[in-house]
Each structure stands twice: as C-alpha cells, then as structure tokens.
Chains A and B, each alone.
Chain A
Amino acid sequence: MDQFTINLLFVGASFALYIGIAVWARAGSTSEFYAAGRGVHPVTNGMATAADWMSAASFISMAGLIAFTGYDNSSFLMGWTGGYVLLALLLAPYLRKFGKFTVSEFIGDRFYSPTARLVAVICLIVASLTYVIGQMTGVGVAFGRFLEVNNTLGLLIGAVIVFAYAVFGGMKGVTYTQVAQYCVLIMAYTIPAVFISLQLTGNPIPAIGLFSEYEASGEPLLATLDQIVRELGFNEYTAHHGDTLNMVLFTLSLMIGTAGLPHVIMRFFTVPKVADARWSAGWTLVFIALLYLTAPAVGAMARLNITDLMWPEGTQGQAVSTEQIANDPAYDWMATWQQTGLLGWEDKNGDGRIQYYNDADADMQERAEAEGWEGNELTNFNRDILVLANPEIANLPGWVIGLVAAGGIAAALSTAAGLLLAISSAVSHDLVKGRLNPNISEKGELLSARIAMAAAILVASYLGLNPPGFAAQTVALAFGIAAASLFPVLMMGIFTKVNNKGAVAGMLSGLIVTLIYIFLHKGWFFIPDTNSFTDADPLLLSIKSTSFGAVGAIINFAVAFTVSRMTAPLPPEIEELVESVRVPKGAAAAAADH
C-alpha cells in the first residue's frame, strides 16, 4: 500500500469517528449546547480540555521551536502548563460555582455593568477569532501535505466536519469529539517519539531518554547535542543565551494568558460540581503533560538526527553529498518536503556536498575559509515541519506517518471547535439574549446559538483561506488580550471587592496599553512598516511585544484598584454574590436557577 492510501485511511477513519459522535451527541437544550448539560465526568472533561487547549501550535510547532533554540524556549513548556495552576487555584472552581454559561456573563454580573460585559465580549471574540485563523490554516496545510489535495479543499473539508458536530452537538458534541481527538493526537505524538527514543537511547520513554545516554556516542544525549551544535557554530543547546528579564516575562505572559483564554475556562462549566472542577484541572494537566514532557525529547532528538544526517562522518568529517541525498532512501524525506517549499538546500560552492553550519559564527567562518565553503547550504528549514517530518527523518514505518497526519488534523480541529463554541455562545448568550432580546425563548436562543456557530465557521474559513498578513502574529495577540484584560478582571471579581468602574477602567487600560505596545513593534493593525520599534530592540528595557501581556496585567490590576478605591463601594447584593461564589455549597442549585 502506498503512503498516500495509508494517510487517507488514517485520516478517513478518524473523520468517520468524529461524525459518528456528532450523530450520537446532539444538543436538545441551551444547557446542553453551552455546557453539555453539566454532566461531564471530570476525567472526561480533562481529556477534552487537553485537546481543546493543545492546538496546531502545540502539536506541530512547539517541538521545532525548542529544537532550534534549545533551553531558551523552555518558556513555552513552563508557560503553557503553569497557566493551569493559576486556572485551578484562582478561577475554575469559583466560575463553576457561579454557574453561568459564558466568561463575559460572569464579568457582567459580578461588576453589575453591561459595559464590562460588552468589553469582555469584544475581548473574547477578538482573542478567539484571531486564534482560530491559525487553526484553520493548519488544517489546510496538514491536508495539503498528507492527502495531496490543495490547501483550499483541505480547509473546506475540515470546516464541514467541524460544522457537523459543533452546530448540532454544541458543547456536548464538541466535548465527546475532543475526547476522541485527544486519543488520536496523543498516540500520533508519542508513538514516533517512543520509536526514536528507542533508536537513540534504548529507553522507550522519551522524557527519560532525553536525559539518558546516547548509544552512538556513549555520552549523555544532551552533552553530545551540545557538543555537535557547538562544533557547527550554533548556540549550545542547554545554555541560556537570551535575555533573562524577557524570558521571565514571556513565561509569565503565557501562564496568565493560558488561564485567561475563554475557550479553556468555559470547559470547566461542564462538570457537575465545584470539587469536580478542581479535580478536572488536574486531569487536564495530566493529559497535557503527556505531550509536553515528550515535546522537549522530540525536539532534542530531531535536532540530533538532522545534524547526523547532514554530517554522516561526524562534524569534523565531510558533509553529506548531493548524490547521497538524491539516492539514499534515508534522505527521501528531504525531497518530499522540498516540494512543499518548507525545506531547501543549495550547493553554493559547487563541491557536491551540502554543508550545514552557522555561517554567522567567527570560528566557523575561519573553517569555511580553509575548506572553501561559501555559507550555510541547508538554506531553508521551516521549524514547523519538524514534528510532521520526524517519522520520515527517523525512517519509521508508513502507518506512523499516517497516524501523525491524523494527529495534526485532530489537534487543529479540536481547538478550532472549542474557539468557535466560545465565539458562538458569546454572540447568542451575551449579545442576542443579553442585549438585543432578553425575552427570547429557550428554543429561540438555541437556534440563534446554532446560527452564530455556523456564521463563525464561515468567517473562520474565509479568514483561513485569505489569512491577513499578520496571521503568524495573531496567537501572540490572543494571549496578550487574555492576559492583559480577561485574567485580571476575573481574578479580581473573585478575590477582591473591586467595583464596576474599577473593573472597566482596569480592563480597558490593560487592553489598550498592551495593544499599543504590540502595534508599536509589529506595525499598527499589523500593517508592515508602520512599526516604530522591533522586538530585537524593544521600547522598554528588553521586553518584547510577545512578553508584554504580563505588564498589561499589572497595569490592569493597578488601575482597577486605584479607580475602585476612589469610587463607590460594592452594593450589598454584589457583596453577597462574591461571598456565595467563594463557597462550593449550592452549585447545583445555582445551575438549576438558570
């Protein structure tokens, strides 16, 4: 069976599963559509939340980001998991106790302010919509590579599948498909990693293999990696090179942003009790950790494999010949990925060999001079292909490649569905029911939720097909908004007596300052060449625009406290609301009232 047929089988089987779940899990009420009837077991919810959270960025990009930078990109590992501690301790149990359907509804009620609710809805929609663009393009790319259809058709097939289970099933359909998608994506991620770890270290657990002996050298794997990348003039893998202040703030911004993302928070509305919300956050992190503990191993091992392939005689010997790349089956993946334009090489000095090294390094320039090299010849290596190409690089069987294809698509679809659900419930529950037509019937609201979902899918598909030039920047934008506006206001709603005016002033100032800082560095509304600073030479100290969310959050807190102190205290009924949110008792009743 050829590779194309195998890929088709794996992706087709996974889609059949999602459709089957869609038929089985149809939502009959708004409670089922928004919160799966609050009947989801905490472990099930943990698995669904893990799939909801782990996007194309986690599955496809993260290992590559770590592989080519090393230690400095540990921020992604700590940031994207540490946020769950904040979520579990500071938000999830209390928001579940509050027992409503959207994040913005809590903000509106707790701060007794339609304005606060509207600002929250806008933040929620902008953050979720920018985030979903990347997922839709990710689906297109995965299809394009593995099923040889063009990106447009791939994206449309993905959109139809999401439509089937999200529009009819709402949160209920999305939850159970996300469970299936988690199983697909975690197998797709760990199985190749286990094979590779066995090949390199003899240890079947990649997370342990990373800190084990590299069988080919008899030295620890990381020590070998440090040595060979140093010999090629690259930064030592395990050493710290970047700026410490920026690394701390970037990690913190990712943590706060994770805890403030509405599509993740709303998953905790689906469990029956407050205690379940606490457990469920733990289970979520268990399922996320299975991938996140594997990712650094995947990154380091892939970096080692690639370097070995480019320097088959070792870094002091001769580089790989163009003839070998063309004829040796171990190098077939290079031709495959060259066609996608994501991998490229060029024999600049015409010696029939491809030298891969850091041509900006002084020592390497000396060696290049002596050996007649004319610059690095592995000219293009897109970090995003690392995980997808990994099974081919390690020469694994065809079915593993098919599984990785299905896994990449599952990661993108599950996150897209969660985001679309957050958008549609904000539109139908906060805007239609909350503002336009408060007397709308249950049936009417359910219909409007479905229409909002269908519309959100259309908009997301359109933006996925015609991604604005700033598509790559938008995840940073989503995190910036979540960290600077939503997280602080949710936390203050539970832990402090900040009033309505304080909340609105805090949210707006955190949001506006963060947006301005991002625009100053990335261009106004991401239009190229309208930026006054760059992330290489930022406005404030060494703080890059991607790390500014944490600063925005601090501004939000400070402004909210100051304004709140100068204005009227909380009305007694809101004091009571805060007291009631703080204790678990009565969560079932709070939900039933609704």
Chain B
Amino acid sequence: MSVTEKEKESARAYWKTNVRIILSSLAIWALVSFGFGILLRPLLSGIAVGGTDLGFWFAQQGSILVFLGLIFFYAWRMNKLDAEHGVGEE
C-alpha cells in the first residue's frame, strides 16, 4: 500500500469510528429525553423520586444532566481519536 492509500484508509476508519460514537451518543440522547422523559414514563412510574416519579425527574432535570455528560464525553473521546489518527491540531 502506498502512503496516500494508507492515509485514506486511516481517514475512512477515523470517520467510521466518529459516526459510530455519534450514533451511540444520540441513542442515549433520545433514550433519556423522548424515552424516559416522555414515552417510557408510564413504565418508570413505580420508581418514586421526591414526591413524584423518575420520568418526571428525567423530563425536568435528568435529561439535561445526561446531555451535559454526553457532550463532554464526545469532546474527550474525539480528541483522543484525533490523536490516534494523527489528524488533530497541535
């Protein structure tokens, strides 16, 4: 394999990993907001939290905290991935 082909291969792998990380992050993003916060709330109604149920907590606070975790995780993970593939900025 020539150098440029190797580079291309690495770029493809980099992008594939990125898309995979994005898709799993978005799955969690949807699960905590649309899932726990709205659609799955009836299933969580048995779990009491401060005078109401877990679904209410996810809708008003939990989802926001998970969103925060997701964005920082993504930034950390991608900066690592940049370094692994040598595509980061110095």
Which positions in A face B, CB cutoff 8 Å? 71, 74, 77-78, 81-82, 84-85, 88-90, 93, 207, 210-212, 219-224, 226, 238, 240, 244, 247-248, 251-252, 273-275, 278-279, 281-282, 285-286, 289, 292-293, 296, 495, 579, 582-588
Determine whether the beta carbon of B64 is less than 8 Å from that of A81: yes
A587: B residues at CB distance < 8 A: 89
Q: In the assembly, what is the distance between CA of A570 and CA of B37, in Å?
A: 41
Q: Binary interface profile of B, 2-15, with partner A (CB < 8 Å = 1, else 0)?
A: 00000000010011
Which A-chain residue is minimally distant from B63 (CB atoms)? A78
Q: Which residues of B contact A (CB under 8 A)?
A: 11, 14-15, 18-19, 22, 25-26, 29, 33-34, 37-39, 41, 49-53, 56-57, 59-61, 63-65, 67-68, 70-72, 74-75, 78-79, 82, 86-89
Task: Please report the number of residue pairs spanning A and B whose Cβ atoms sit closer than 8 angstroms.
Answer: 140
A248 engages B67 (CB within 8 Å): no
- In Å, the complex CA distance between A335 and B30 comes to 46
Closest A-B pairs by Cβ, 5 of them: A220-B51, A211-B50, A223-B51, A74-B59, A278-B75
Check if B52 sits within 8 Å of A240, measured CB to CB: no
Which residues in B have their C-beta under 8 angstroms from that of A207?
Answer: 61
**Chain B interface helix/strand/loop/mixed:** helix
Alpha-carbon distance between A282 and B74 when the two chains are bound, in angstroms: 9
**Using Cβ atoms and an 8 Å threshold, which residues of chain B touch A293?**
61, 64-65
Question: Looking across the interface, which residue of chain B has its beta carbon closest to that of A589?
Answer: B89
Partner pick for B79 among A84, A244, A275, CB 8 A cutoff: A275
Given the known interface contacts A251-B33, A275-B89, the answer about A220 and B50 at a Cβ–Cβ threshold of 8 Å is yes
Q: Choose one: B38, B49, B50, B88; the contact of A251 (CB below 8 Å).
A: B38
Look across to chain B and name the residue whose beta carbon is closest to the beta carbon of A83.
Answer: B67
Given the complex, which residues of A lie within 8 Å of B88, measured CB to CB? 275, 584-585
With contact pairs A244-B38, A274-B89, A275-B89 given, residues A88 and B71 touching in the complex (Cβ less than 8 Å):
yes
In the complex, residue of chain A having the shortest beta-carbon distance to the beta carbon of B33: A78
Interface centre among B53, B60, B68 (most CB of A within 10 A): B60
Nearest Cβ on chain B to A210's Cβ, whole angstroms: 7
Q: Given A89-B22, A224-B51, output 16 extra A-B contacts at Cβ < 8 Å.
A: A78-B59, A81-B63, A82-B29, A88-B75, A210-B60, A212-B50, A226-B51, A252-B34, A275-B75, A275-B89, A289-B64, A292-B64, A293-B64, A582-B15, A585-B87, A587-B89
Contacts of A582 in B (CB 8 A): 11, 15, 18
C-alpha spacing A586/B11, complex, angstroms: 14
**A583-B83 Cα distance, complex, nearest whole Å:** 11
